[in-house]
């Protein structure tokens, strides 16, 4: 009996102890602050078992993150959002094309595209202060009792909690947990449910634990049951694997599992999944298009700042074009106001700015993005389901169907809601800069990488208005953080400063002094590679550093470093470096012939390994620098001649234009280039969109094999022909005013005769100064001033350079010139005034009759008169007179232009007077008075010549014997 009672008492005592343990666990989960939890742990720590230890660590993480209600959902959605900022790895400047432009180098990419940062604590309250001794005691207890856990649940909860806290006070904890989880062939992981695997992976990724064996076991267990994962568990696992730089196949498998159920994901989950794919470089167009469809149909308020940052960064990182979504995200940033920006982390703001700079949202796509919801409702009223149903009926992808419906909606009804017409009209890019830049300038936690990327984005979006004060603050912040920037970040910051200065923004020498001194210090220069050095040289050119005395030493040190690294440069690096040096020479007259010769010597030995882009860019760069290198030029012509059919129109234009500037008469190469161009005009319109089909009658005139450029050899100098040349050649800078006056008078009858001939050899003499003056008049704007030939403007500039290049090389073919004129006629308004002048000079010099081109040019010149310089204006008048094409309205407008500009001096005024006399257009009285005044000044200068044997005696004009004193 006693023994029975004693046995019953023992069972009651055991149940009492169990009840006490359960009550203690409940007390732990009900604590409301870190101080209360710490008091509870100090009081009952001796009673803690392994369950109490794990519960206390998880509760501490929840209290620290600001979640005081202890919801279980917190284990599924940790407070820390994917994407801590990581230090970038050094990347070379990515050259996406070789096409030379006025801006030589391609836009550099950031050293590492910024990853969105952690989410701030909820607005419901500030997080409680962390107690390091408390966490240290709890983790020590966990290490002591971890072998008592039979499943992976407590390991997953504790490691997730430590990941939320962002600290690992006990270095033995993770190795011990890994050993226990991997024991018995990873039995604990194999039997773990999806939620535990997801939480475990999240915690390990946040703590930076990269043990390959443990991650392999987690990934293997996850792949076995991916179909059982809920959307939140799926995107959390994918994010963790990407953040830990683990197996990309896991991310691909997660994406394939997520595709059929994308509409079950919330915006945050989609953003995490897209971020994981972009981080792991797993491009999946179906995922991105499907996610865009879901996000476009979601209300804007459902997207938080971090969702916008993650999504925009992912699309920009993988260069997945979706203008409607980018416009939708931009409208969310603009419509969120100060509340959205104030709640965003600094790294999120940098990520937004970087993404919108990498993929600028077009304003025209904004209303299309806002109309997607209307399209979804019209397709079946079921949101994304309605879109998919409508897409299935038409046999198209859901994303394409949604965009088509959206654009149709925009065409039918104006947009309503958050995307107002004012936003569309004003443009998204200036508004994004006006909103994001001031907010970033106020942030004191801006990192060196963030400052560099923010500057890069501002420079990438130029030309665009910027608020002056925030820009100055951002430049100051970048200078203060220059010491912590990597080499690529410094190069990007200086490049951006150069772009901002070139766009007209105030960038003072003081604001970039720290960046320059840090970038050009000897230790830093020795560690830089050729691409970064070339980018620094281009930035120095745009910032005009060689013209500032305080920066001359830094630029010289940069040039010496470039010279030392030349022997180890590859073909692409040489081309980038040549373009940067050409920029420095052209923009700020940086003269370093030793560096250019060294570059030419190294490049001449590597031209056989270059593609057409590299060949044309290299020769064009030397031409822009006005530096002739014989071995390099000959080597490029030798390699390019048999490969001309591989060159695009734009590359051919750069090659021909460079040969013309360098005055290199490679006649066989030019003839082959002309044949290639004419042969392309026979191609079908659908297979060659850049060059329009010529009229059938032009095709019938000549076959490509029969194209032969006719050289223009100057005849003997006769008074009549020289007079015509004096008026039309534009070489008056090297002649006396008296000789020009006589030439203008004699050319009244000679210009029409010269323009009457239309083919074969001409009698007009050639002078290399004739068009070289045109190039110098506008700073060489016509040389490489255009963009890539893929655009209408780029194509127009290519055709203009081809026409000018053949004319400058003194070669002519009627079919080729007719082809180029036909290409240029509808595109003349896309050219700069100087390029338009070069086109007119080229056709007039050869007497090529093209009345349709001249009529279109007259309209284009009249529209650009305020931007026309005196030299170009006079050459335009000369061209119309040389071709005998009367256009009284244009000539009178040019006279008004001449009366307003004081720059119309002797040569320009004489050329304009000759043109008006040739076309029987009366010259305005004020211009006649200026002509007579100039003549009297020239006579006075000639009368002061002395014959006392002085060394400074001016020589007589070479053609003074033909001067008409009564002109």
Same domain as 329, residue 255: no
Q: How does DSSP classify residue 611?
A: -
Please indicate, yes or no, if residue 493 is contained in any of the structural domains.
no
* 217 and 339 both lie in a single domain: no
The Cα 179–Cα 160 span in angstroms is 17
Considering 383, 414, 445, which residue would you say is the last residue of a domain? 445
**CA 20 remoteness from chain centre:** 65
Burial of residue 435, with CB atoms counted within 10 A of its CB: 0-12 exposed, 13-18 middle, 19 or more buried:
buried
Same domain assignment for residues 345 and 438? yes
Q: Which helix (H) or strand (E) holds 812?
A: strand 811-812
Residue 388 lies in a domain: no
Q: How far apart are the first and last CA of the chain?
A: 148
Helix boundaries (H) for 444-592: 448-460, 468-480, 487-502, 509-519, 522-527, 530-542, 552-565, 571-588
Which tokens hold the place of 205?
A: 């990724």
Evaluate whether residue 47 is within a structural domain: yes
Q: Are residues 322 and 437 in the same domain?
A: yes
CATH number at residue 156: 1.25.40
Dihedrals phi, psi of 850, to nearest 5 degrees: -150, 75
Q: For residues 931 and 832, state if they share a domain.
A: yes
Cα–Cα dist 531/652, whole Å: 25
Q: Verify that 233 and 315 share a domain, yes or no.
A: no
Say if residue 253 is in the same domain as residue 288: no
DSSP character at residue 548: S
φ, ψ at 711 (rounded to 5°): -70, 145
**For tokens 């149940």, what's the residue?**
15
Domains held by the chain: number = 3
Residues of the chain with pLDDT under 50: 1-6, 8, 17-19, 67-128, 364-426, 684-789, 945-967
| Same domain assignment for residues 290 and 255 | no
Tell me whether residue 650 is in a domain: no
By CB atoms closer than 10 A (0-12, 13-18, 19+), residue 77 is middle
Looking at the DSSP assignment, which residues form a beta bridge with residue 710?
A: 812
- Asked if 178 and 245 sit in the same domain, the reply is yes
**CA pair distance 773, 767, nearest whole angstrom:** 11
CA 359 to chain centre: 8
Whether residue 783 lies inside any domain: the answer is no
Report pLDDT for 771.
32
Residue 694 CB: number of other CB atoms within 10 A?
A: 17
Residue 14 is predicted with a pLDDT of: 52
How would you class 301 by CB atoms within 10 Å of its CB: exposed for 0-12, middle for 13-18, buried for 19 or more? exposed
At 362 the pLDDT is 65
222 and 287 part of one domain: no
The encoded tokens of residue 212 equal: 């390959």
Comparing C-alpha atoms, which of 263, 272, 177 is closest to residue 217? 177
The pLDDT of residue 859 is 92
Q: Are 286 and 252 in contact (CB under 8 A)?
A: no
DSSP secondary structure, 132-150, as one string:
HHHHHHHHHHHHHHGGG--
193 and 44 fall within a common domain: yes
The two three-digit tokens of residue 207, written as one number: 């703590």
Strand ranges for 679-720 from DSSP E: 710-711
Examine the fold and report which residue of 260, 295, 316 is the final residue of a domain before the chain moves on: 260
* Token pair in block for residue 902: 């004081």
728 assigned to some structural domain: no
From 426, 448, 446, select the one nearest 436 (Cα to Cα).
Answer: 446
CA distance 35 to 39: 6
Per-residue pLDDT, 712: 40
Q: What is the pLDDT of residue 112?
A: 43
Q: What was the pLDDT predicted at 702?
A: 39
Per the CB < 8 A criterion, the answer to whether 219 and 250 are in contact is: yes
Residue whose pair of structure tokens reads 């000789």 in the numeric block? 739
For residues 285 and 295, give the distance between their C-alpha atoms in angstroms, rounded to a whole number: 15
Domain-embedded: residue 124: no
Residues 63 and 205 in one domain: yes
Nearest in space to 643 (alpha carbons), one of 622, 616, 681, 663: 616
From 194, 229, 260, the end of a domain falls on 260
Nearest residue to 270 (alpha-carbon basis) of 397, 410, 82: 82
Q: Does 581 map to a domain? A: no
Q: Which domain holds residue 320?
A: 281-371+426-445
């Amino acid at each position: 009996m006693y023994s029975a009672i004693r046995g019953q008492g023992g069972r009651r005592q055991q149940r009492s102890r169990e009840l006490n343990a359960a009550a203690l666990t409940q007390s732990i989960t009900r604590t409301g602050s870190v101080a209360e939890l710490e008091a509870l742990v100090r009081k009952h720590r001796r009673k803690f078992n392994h369950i109490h230890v794990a519960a206390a660590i998880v509760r501490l993480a929840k209290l620290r993150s600001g979640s005081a209600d202890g919801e279980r959902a917190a284990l599924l959605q940790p407070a820390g959002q994917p994407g801590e900022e990581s230090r970038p790895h050094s990347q070379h400047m990515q050259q996406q094309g070789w096409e030379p432009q006025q801006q030589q180098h391609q836009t550099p990419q950031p050293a590492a595209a910024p990853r969105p940062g952690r989410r701030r604590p909820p607005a419901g309250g500030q997080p409680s202060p962390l107690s390091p001794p408390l966490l240290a005691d709890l983790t020590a207890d966990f290490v002591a009792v971890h072998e008592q856990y039979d499943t992976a649940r407590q390991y997953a909860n504790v490691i997730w909690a430590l990941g939320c806290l962002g600290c690992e006070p006990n270095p033995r904890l993770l190795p011990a947990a890994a050993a226990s989880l991997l024991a018995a062939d990873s039995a604990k992981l194999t039997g773990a449910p999806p939620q535990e695997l997801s939480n475990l992976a999240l915690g390990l990724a946040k703590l930076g634990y990269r043990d390959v064996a443990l991650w392999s076991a987690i990934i293997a267990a996850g792949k076995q049951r991916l179909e059982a994962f809920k959307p939140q568990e799926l995107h959390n696992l994918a994010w963790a694997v990407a953040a830990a730089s683990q197996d990309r196949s896991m991310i691909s498998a997660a994406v394939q599992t997520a595709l059929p159920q994308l509409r079950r994901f919330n915006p945050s989950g989609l953003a995490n999944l897209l971020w994981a794919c972009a981080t792991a470089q797993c491009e999946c167009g179906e995922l991105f298009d499907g996610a865009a469809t879901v996000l476009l149909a979601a209300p804007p308020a459902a997207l938080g700042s971090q969702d916008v940052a993650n999504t925009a960064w992912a699309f920009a990182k993988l260069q997945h074009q979706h203008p409607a979504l980018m416009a939708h995200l931009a409208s969310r940033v603009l419509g969120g106001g100060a509340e959205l920006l104030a709640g965003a982390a600094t790294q999120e703001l940098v990520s937004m700015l970087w993404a919108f700079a990498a993929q600028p949202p077009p304003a025209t796509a904004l209303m299309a993005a806002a109309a997607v919801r209307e399209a979804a409702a019209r397709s079946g009223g079921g949101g994304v389901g309605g879109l998919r149903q409508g897409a299935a009926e038409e046999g198209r992808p859901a994303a394409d169907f949604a965009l088509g419906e959206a654009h149709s909606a925009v065409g039918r009804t104006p947009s309503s809601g958050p995307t107002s017409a004012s936003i569309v009209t004003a443009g998204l890019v200036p508004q994004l800069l006006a909103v994001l830049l001031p907010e970033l300038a106020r942030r004191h936690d801006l990192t060196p990488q963030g400052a560099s990327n923010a500057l890069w984005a501002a420079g990438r979006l130029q030309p665009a208005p910027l608020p002056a004060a925030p820009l100055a603050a951002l430049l100051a912040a970048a200078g203060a953080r220059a010491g912590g920037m990597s080499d690529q970040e410094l190069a990007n910051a200086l490049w951006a400063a150069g772009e901002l200065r070139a766009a007209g923004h105030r960038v003072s020498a003081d604001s970039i002094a720290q960046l320059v001194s840090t970038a050009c210090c000897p230790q830093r220069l020795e560690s830089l590679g050729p691409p970064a050095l070339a980018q620094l040289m281009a930035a120095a050119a745009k910032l005009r550093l060689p013209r500032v005395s305080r920066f001359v030493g830094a630029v010289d040190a940069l040039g010496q470093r470039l010279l030392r690294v030349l022997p180890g440069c590859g073909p692409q690096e040489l081309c980038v470096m040549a373009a940067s040096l050409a920029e420095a020479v052209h923009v700020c007259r940086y003269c370093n012939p030793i560096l250019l010769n060294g570059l030419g010597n190294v490049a001449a030995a590597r031209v056989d390994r270059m593609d057409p882009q590299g060949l044309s860019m290299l020769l064009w760069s030397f031409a822009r620098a006005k530096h002739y290198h014989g071995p390099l030029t000959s080597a490029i012509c030798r390699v390019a001649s048999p490969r001309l059919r591989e060159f695009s129109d734009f590359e051919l234009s750069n090659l021909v234009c460079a040969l013309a500037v360098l005055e290199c008469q490679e006649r066989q190469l030019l003839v082959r280039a002309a044949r290639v161009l004419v042969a392309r005009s026979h191609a079908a319109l659908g297979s060659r969109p850049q060059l329009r089909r010529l009229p059938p009658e032009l095709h019938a005139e000549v076959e490509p094999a029969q194209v032969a450029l006719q050289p223009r050899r100057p005849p003997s100098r006769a008074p009549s022909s020289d007079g015509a040349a004096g008026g039309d050649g534009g070489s008056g800078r090297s002649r006396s005013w008296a000789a020009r006056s006589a030439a203008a008078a004699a050319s009244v009858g000679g210009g029409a005769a010269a323009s009457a001939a239309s083919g074969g050899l001409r009698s007009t003499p050639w002078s290399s100064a004739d068009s070289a003056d045109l190039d110098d008049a506008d700073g060489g704007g016509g040389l490489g001033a255009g963009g890539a030939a893929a655009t209408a403007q780029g194509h127009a500039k290519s055709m203009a350079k081809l026409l000018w290049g053949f004319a400058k090389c003194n070669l002519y073919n009627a079919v080729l010139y007719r082809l180029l004129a036909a290409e240029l006629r509808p595109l003349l308004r896309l050219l700069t005034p100087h390029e338009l002048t070069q086109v007119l000079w080229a056709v007039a010099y050869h007497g090529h009759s093209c009345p349709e081109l001249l009529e279109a040019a007259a309209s284009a010149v009249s529209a650009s008169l305020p931007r026309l310089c005196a030299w170009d204006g006079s050459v335009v008048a000369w061209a119309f007179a040389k071709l005998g094409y009367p256009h009284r309205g244009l000539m009178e407008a040019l006279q008004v232009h001449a009366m307003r500009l004081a720059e119309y001096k002797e040569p320009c005024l004489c050329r304009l007077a000759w043109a008006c006399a040739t076309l029987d257009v009366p010259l305005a009285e004020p211009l006649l008075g200026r002509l007579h005044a100039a003549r009297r000044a020239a006579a006075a200068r000639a009368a002061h010549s002395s014959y006392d044997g002085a060394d400074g005696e001016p020589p007589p004009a070479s053609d003074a014997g033909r001067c008409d004193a009564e002109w």
